[in-house]
Structures are given as structure tokens and as C-alpha cells.
């Protein structure tokens, strides 16, 4: 019998977890597959870990890894991929925004059609602040234009995949992880399943607007080198422009005998170019910061507790 592993990153989800578990159990027990839950407690400050421990005492399908602190959803997903044993793996949020009821359909597609993974995307962003939707849409437009990795608008991390894909993800050991980019980068044949946005069942979102904004910038820097070339293009443009201006000034002085006045305009130009240089330096700085973190080779996560034999506690 084939086995499915459900990877569930949890950060302060004590309210949502029991609801999630009940719903997932309803779906999984009806399926003709072996299965396991792998809950990753991402350093929660509430009772999440005790809730998970309780599940695991009653149900042998429940495995868990508890981090020593909050490492973020990306690290939690990575820990999941490193420790699952199933033929299929799927990442799901603990708040039921990734409905388990879609799983049977996703499995059927993988079994009957030539695909390696079934990914999901939200077709609507119902229930989301308009400003957030606007920036999210812009983000997908920009990153798809400047990166050669395809990232689908509205794509969720909710994705069922075959073992080969899991192994490929684990083999990508970069520290600055951006899963939506990684999924696209490794390739494989992906079926896109659309569904209406569902609001979280309990608890609060862990993402403030600015956290999301920083995450989006991270995604761009991790999967595109285009911002780096901005500096060169600005530089080239400026040089061309100033050369033309120089010709104009020489022309006015020699032919029309008209001395060019105006220190104010000069100061403006100096400030403008100074700002531009700092901006470009900042972009380069962002990349250097990433390189710096990568070269440290720090682990992605550190686990403090687990009920899996031979769990990878530090990776």
C-alpha cells in the first residue's frame, strides 16, 4: 500500500489544530492509503506542542518534530521534507486554508495522469485586504518577468508530490529558502488545481503586511539577478544623458555665447546621482547579505524534540 505523508507546519495553532486533525482524519481514514502526519512545531509559544503530543499518544499515525525556537515556515517545511517516509508528500497549513477534502482528487490525478505533482492555486483572494491582494498580484507579475523560474499567481504551498520531487527539494540546501521558487526551479510535471480561497478556521495569520513584503523581496533576490543589472543600466543611461547635456552646453557657450548659470540645478543633479548610487549599492548589499548568510552554513533548523526514530534533529 502506498503511503502519504502530510507535512503540517504549526506556529501558535493550538486553536486550529484540533479542527484540522479532525477534518484530516475524516479524509485520510476514508482513503485506501497508508498515511502519516508530520507536525512541525515551529517554536510555538502557546499549547501547540502539548496538543500535538496528545494526538501522538492516541494515534500512531502522528509524528512530530518540535523546533528549539521559531525558525519560520520555510524551515518547518524543509524539516518536513527531510523527515517524511511516504511515497507521496503534501504540505498543508494547520488552519484548514488548504482543505484536506481536495486530497482525494489530487491523489487521483497523480495516479491516473502523467504528473509528478499536483499544486493548488487560489483563484480568488476573497476575504483578504485589497491592498495585500494588489501587492501580491504585482509581486507575481514582477518576479515572473525578471526570473526564469515560473511562479504561478495565487500559488499555495499546498502541493502533493511524488517521492522524486521530495528528494529534489531536500537536495537544495540553500539557506535562504523560497519554496514557491524552489518548486518551480526543480521542474517536474505539475498539474494546477484551482480553488476558491477559504478563510482560516481559528487563530490569527502569522503574516503582517510588512513580513509578507519582506518575504516577497526575499523571493525576488533569491530567484533573480535582474536587480543587480539595474545598477549597470542606470549607470549607462546616466552616462549617455550627461554626454548629450555636455554637447548642449558646449554648443550654447561657443555658438550662442551664453554662459550656463545655476548652481541649484547642479546641486540637484549631484544629489540625484548620489541617491541613485546609494540605491544601487543597497541592492548589491542585499545580495552580499545573502551570500554572507549562505557561507556561514548554519543549519536550517534545530529540533529539540521528536517522536520519530532517527529524526534529523539538526539539518
Q: CA–CA separation, 71 vs 265, rounded Å?
A: 50
Backbone φ, ψ for residue 194 (5° rounding):
-100, 145
Span of 8-16, 64-72, 91-99, 216-224 interacting with Mg ion by CB under 5 A: 91-99
How far, CA to CA in Å, does 146 sit from each of 58, 69, 96? 49, 34, 33
Phi-psi region of 243 (alpha: psi -120 to 50; beta: other; left: phi over 0): alpha
Q: Which of 15, 74, 93, 157 binds Mg ion (CB under 5 A)?
A: 93
What 3-state DSSP class applies to 91?
strand
Pick out residues in 180-219 that bind Mg ion (CB under 5 A).
Answer: 200
Q: Is 177 in the site for ligand UDP (CB under 6 A)?
A: no
Q: Is 205 in the site for ligand UDP (CB under 6 A)?
A: yes
Minimum gap (Å) between residue 93 Cβ and Mg ion: 5
CB 313, min distance to ligand UDP, A: 17
Q: Which of 25, 34, 70, 286 binds ligand UDP (CB under 6 A)?
A: 70
**Is residue 207 a contact point for ligand UDP (CB under 6 A)?**
yes
In the block, cell 547635456 appears at 245
- Which span (85-93, 109-117, 121-129, 216-224) binds Mg ion, by CB under 5 A? 85-93
User: Which of ligand UDP, Mg ion, none does residue 76 bind to, with CB < 5 to 8 Å depending on kind?
Assistant: ligand UDP
- Of these, 13, 36, 95, 116, which contacts Mg ion (CB under 5 A)? 95
Q: In the complex, what is the shortest distance from the CB of residue 207 to ligand UDP, in angstroms, rounded to a whole number?
A: 5
Name which of ligand UDP, Mg ion, none residue 133 binds, using a CB cut-off of 5 to 8 Å depending on partner kind: none
- Which residues sit opposite 191 in a β-bridge? 118
List Cβ neighbours of 263 (8 Å cut-off, separation of 6 or more): none
CA distance 81 to 87: 12
Q: Which of 51, 93, 107, 224 binds ligand UDP (CB under 6 A)?
A: 93
Q: Least distance (Å) from ligand UDP to the CB of residue 18?
A: 14
Q: Is residue 106 a contact partner of residue 193, using CB atoms and an 8 Å limit?
A: yes
Which residue of 61, 200, 290, 312 would you call a contact of ligand UDP, by CB under 6 A? 200
Q: Which residue has the cell 520531487?
A: 165
Partner from Mg ion, ligand UDP, none binding residue 13, C-beta < 5-8 Å depending on class? ligand UDP
Q: Give the separation between CA 107 and CA 118, rounded to whole angstroms.
A: 8
Cα gap 96→307, rounded to integer Å? 24
Of 146 and 201, CB closest to ligand UDP: 201
Q: Which of 97, 117, 179, 306 binds Mg ion (CB under 5 A)?
A: 97
* Cβ atoms 232, 277 nearer than 8 A: no
Backbone angles phi, psi at 36, to 5 degrees: -140, 150
Half-sphere exposure of 276 (CA within 13 A, CB side): 16
Give the interface with Mg ion as residue ranges (CB under 5 A).
93, 95, 97, 200
* Site residues for ligand UDP per CB under 6 A: 9-11, 13, 42, 70, 72-73, 76, 93-95, 97, 200, 205-207
Amino acid at each position: 500500500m502506498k503511503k502519504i505523508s502530510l507535512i503540517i507546519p504549526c506556529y501558535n495553532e493550538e486553536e486550529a489544530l484540533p479542527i484540522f486533525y479532525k477534518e484530516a482524519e475524516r479524509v485520510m481514514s476514508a482513503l485506501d492509503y497508508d498515511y502519516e502526519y508530520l507536525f512541525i512545531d515551529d517554536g510555538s509559544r502557546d499549547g501547540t506542542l502539548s496538543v500535538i503530543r496528545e494526538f501522538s499518544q492516541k494515534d500512531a499515525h502522528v509524528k512530530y518534530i518540535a523546533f528549539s525556537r521559531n525558525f519560520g515556515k520555510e524551515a518547518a517545511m524543509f524539516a518536513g521534507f527531510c523527515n517524511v517516509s511516504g511515497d507521496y508528500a503534501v504540505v498543508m497549513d494547520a488552519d484548514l486554508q488548504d482543505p484536506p477534502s481536495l486530497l482525494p482528487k489530487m491523489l487521483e490525478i497523480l495516479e491516473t495522469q502523467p504528473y509528478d505533482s499536483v499544486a493548488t492555486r487560489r483563484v480568488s483572494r476573497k476575504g483578504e485586504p485589497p491592498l495585500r491582494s494588489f501587492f501580491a498580484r504585482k509581486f507575481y507579475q514582477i518576479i515572473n518577468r525578471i526570473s526564469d523560474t515560473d511562479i504561478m499567481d495565487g500559488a499555495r504551498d499546498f502541493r502533493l508530490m511524488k517521492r522524486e520531487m521530495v528528494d529534489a527539494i531536500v537536495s537544495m540546501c540553500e539557506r535562504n529558502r523560497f519554496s514557491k521558487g524552489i518548486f518551480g526551479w526543480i521542474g517536474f510535471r505539475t498539474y494546477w488545481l484551482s480553488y476558491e480561497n477559504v478563510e482560516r478556521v481559528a487563530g490569527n495569520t502569522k503574516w503582517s503586511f510588512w513580513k509578507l513584503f519582506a518575504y516577497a523581496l526575499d523571493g525576488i533576490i533569491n530567484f533573480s539577478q535582474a536587480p543587480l543589472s539595474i545598477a549597470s543600466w542606470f549607470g549607462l543611461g546616466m552616462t549617455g544623458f550627461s554626454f548629450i547635456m555636455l554637447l548642449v552646453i558646449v554648443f550654447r557657450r561657443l555658438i550662442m555665447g551664453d554662459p550656463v548659470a545655476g548652481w541649484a540645478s547642479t546641486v540637484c543633479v549631484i544629489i540625484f546621482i548620489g541617491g541613485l548610487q546609494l540605491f544601487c549599492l543597497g541592492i548589491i548589499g542585499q545580495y552580499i547579505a545573502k551570500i554572507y548568510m549562505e557561507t556561514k552554513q548554519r543549519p536550517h533548523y534545530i529540533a529539540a524534540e521528536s517522536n520519530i526514530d532517527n529524526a534529523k534533529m539538526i539539518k
